[in-house]
Chains A and B, each alone.
Chain A
Amino acid sequence: MAEQVRMVDIYIMGRHYQVPEGLTIMTALEYCGYRMIRGCGCRAGFCGACATVFNFKNDPQLRYDLACQKTIEQDMYLVQIPFFPSAKALYNLEEVEATGEQVLTLYPDLVKCFGCNTCTKTCPQELEVMWFMSDALRGDIREVANKSFDCVMCGLCAARCPQGLVPYNIALLCRRLYGRYLAPTSKHLEDRLAEIETGKFDAELEELKNMSQDKLRRRYAERDIEPAY
């Protein structure tokens, strides 16, 4: 079913190349002979290594995406941002509190956010970055955790923030605070840990470990299966 492949004009750091249509920015770079060292990780949209900036020959407005996920388009001008220096507060999670004041102590510049919304427009995951920044300002840690959850930490928000803020690191702090201090605890997990402590399962495990292959296979075949949903 293969038809004649259409070629697309792109510009990598200003230089013109022609590549077959349908490639991602990342595979287009490779097609042109670039061997990636930086700017390439999971190749699947999960790690944020491949933050990319582009615009078009006749349209100077900058756009942002993940190079491994974005398909090339005619007349794209491309460059990657594999590294951007940005601040990360160091803290001992056991010695901090899950409060808005704490977030502000660790990231005092947060108050400088003036709501320009550049971060939201930049986010390749299409997260409501500016809104979770204002949640952080108000000390609503749970909402920051919720809204920022799909963050791959590519750093584009920090690269573009005119105030030099680091939304992705602030969100990470909030998620950790939420997980450690605010999420309701699981009683069944605590119970199970206590049972393991008292050696409740030891005898049964010992028996299984020493069981003949045949018997083990039978036990396996006969085990009851909980419905999936």
Chain B
Amino acid sequence: MYPTYMKESIRKVEATRERRLKETFPRITEEEKTSLLQKFHPDFIKEGMRELLVGSNKGERTPNEMADVLEGNSRINPDKIDLDKIDYDVDVLVIGGGGAGASAALLAQENGATVLLTTKLRLGDANTVGAQAGTQAADRPNDSLAIHYLDTMGGGRFTNIPELVEVLVKDAPSVIKWLETLGVNWDKNPDGSMHELSGGGASRLRLHSARDYTGLEEMRVLRDEVKNRKIDYLEFSPTIELIMDNKGQIGGAILVNLETNELSLVRAKAVVMATGGTGRLHIQGFPTTNHYGATADGLVLAYRVGAKLIFMDTMQYHPTGAAYPLQILGQLVTEKVRTLGAQLVNVDGEQFIMPLEPRDVVASANIRECQERHKGIETPSGEVGVWLDSPMIDIIGGEGTIARQLPAMVRQFSRFNIDIIKEPMLVYPTLHYQNGGIKINTNGATIVPGLFAAGECEGGVHGRNRLIGNSTLDIFVFGRRAGRAAAQYAKEVKLGTLTLDHVRQWQAELKQAGLAELRPISPLLLPNYARQPYDYLPDYTKQILTVGQIKVA
């Protein structure tokens, strides 16, 4: 329920609604766009970024929180690990149990490889389940691969790697078909044609959805298929370091049991990194839409074995994270709400941006409205936000549209006595997606022999800004490609002797740069939200608690 003073602002929103229904806010020009972004987008906040001092991206800028983990200390002491004691010996190890990892595991197995999938939380606890709005694929008659290509490049400010975008759009229709063959229930019209929606930056209706539970539907099905195909998987067993061989090829990985701290060693001829995103690093203090395990681990692991990262200076802030109530702060209010017709309005009920501009633009406009123009609405806990006028949807689409198309959103807000059919939602940008990541080619291969990457942890497909619906596409396109290519590579490669010399070298490099003492240990694995005062501990126990252990005080 909204407090009275917020209700007063809602009355202004209601008063302007009828007029706004007929009003289209003009699209912003390229010049205005540039200045808006430079002034308000978090990527442009200078103090928020710094240059990396070690590794293959040395000298390049990335958010401070990302730099901390990329320059982090290893969790293991290589001298204490016996690489002769292998627990699992497989062709392909897939790291990460989201959409990209599950697809890679399925395709690797189909292509004859023995596969182990290992993941941090449960299989399917991932950003993939959170995806609500949908997956892009140009399959309607008035659409084409070329238009999808153009939209994607434009969204990414023309910085995307063209070859990656080409396969993204070309594989897209077959991905939709593949998922349907596995039993995904797409939203359809009675004649069987796909019921597709528009999305910010897309010039055609191209979003395939499954109500507003698209990612959940995709993930439920893939998880079930991984089980049906009897692919081995380990839960609560994140990778904390990769293993190499003496020829500079990938040789496997070291996993830790999150509950017992016991290590397991995997020898693998190929590794597919599919660890997803970064939101739980809370870059610049933003709340996030991401799941609990989104801590950039894959980037850290790949960086340590010499892989190259790209576009590490750009993050996606979703323009509409919940700003009220506090219980759901930062959680996603899907873009589908705007796709279906809801406008963004300020405290006076006036529009200030065309709601379907690209995400970085809308996010910046929301920040400007609150920070510069002071036309936001402050919540009792001191957050600030603008209105997303959801009741417009039923006026445009007919009564029942919201209930039918947005059941997850209705449910989420009704828990706090807010009826989004009748009342608007208060929103503010939230950290959503990591645009860049590990550099790959069209088969998901990195420059490190045997290391592949797929999904949100890889970069280049989306350039500097990802469009809605292109990520849940990316994970299947490149998950499948990487799985297939990894299986093929595993057939050909001859592994040498396993080694952890790269970890020794990394630590030496950190020491030389004077960073070893300053940086945390990484990968982070989980954020620490527990209010646990460790201040009373003597120093020697703190050492034990932090070095080579899961606890990061």
Give A contacts to B, CB under 8 Å: 1-3, 22-24, 27, 30-38, 40-47, 49, 69-71, 88, 90-93, 125-126, 145, 149-153, 172, 175-180, 183-189, 191-193, 196, 201, 204-205, 208-209, 213, 216-217, 219-221, 223-229
A-side contacts of B213, CB under 8 Å: 46, 149-150
The number of A-B residue pairs with CB atoms under 8 Å apart is 243
Are A92 and B228 closer than 8 Å at their CB atoms? yes
A selection of 10 A-B contacts at a CB cut-off of 8 Å is A1-B378, A1-B380, A32-B531, A33-B532, A41-B292, A42-B291, A150-B411, A179-B221, A183-B192, A188-B141
Q: Is B190 part of the binding interface, using a Cβ–Cβ cutoff of 8 Å?
A: yes
User: Which of B122-130, B296-304, B501-509 is found at the contact surface with chain A?
Assistant: B122-130
B-side contacts of A180, CB under 8 Å: 180-183
A-side contacts of B142, CB under 8 Å: 226
Write the B1-41 contact mask toward A (1 if CB under 8 angstroms, else 0).
00000000000000000000000000000100000000000
Given contacts A45-B412, A192-B138, contact A22 B326 (CB under 8 A): yes
B50 to chain A, nearest CB (A): 29
A-side contacts of B293, CB under 8 Å: 41
Give B contacts to A, CB under 8 Å: 30, 121-122, 124-126, 129-130, 138-142, 144-147, 149-151, 153-154, 158, 162-163, 166, 169-170, 173-174, 176-177, 180-186, 188, 190-194, 197-198, 203-205, 210-211, 213, 215-217, 220-221, 224-225, 227-228, 230, 236, 258-259, 289, 291-293, 325-328, 331-332, 339-341, 356, 378, 380-382, 396-397, 407-408, 411-412, 415-416, 526, 528-532
Are B176 and A90 closer than 8 Å at their CB atoms? no
Are A71 and B327 closer than 8 Å at their CB atoms? yes
* In-complex Cβ contact of B185 among A145, A186, A187 (8 A): A145
* In-complex Cβ contact of B332 among A44, A213, A224 (8 A): A44
Q: Give 5 closest A-B pairs by Cβ, nearest first.
A: A176-B183, A184-B192, A41-B125, A35-B530, A220-B154
A-side contacts of B381, CB under 8 Å: 2
Are A208 and B149 closer than 8 Å at their CB atoms? yes
- Which of the listed residues B124, B145, B411 has the most CB atoms from chain A within 10 Å of its own CB? B145
A-side contacts of B158, CB under 8 Å: 213, 216-217, 220
B-side contacts of A91, CB under 8 Å: 228
- Which of the listed residues A42, A125, A186 has the most CB atoms from chain B within 10 Å of its own CB? A42
* In-complex Cβ contact of B327 among A24, A185, A219 (8 A): A24
A-side contacts of B183, CB under 8 Å: 93, 175-180
A219 to chain B, nearest CB (A): 6
B-side contacts of A192, CB under 8 Å: 138-139, 173
Are A228 and B341 closer than 8 Å at their CB atoms? yes
A156 to chain B, nearest CB (A): 15
A-side contacts of B184, CB under 8 Å: 179
Given contacts A1-B382, A220-B153, A229-B340, contact A33 B530 (CB under 8 A): yes
A-side contacts of B325, CB under 8 Å: 22
Q: How far is the CA of A221 from the CA of B193 in the complex (A)?
A: 30
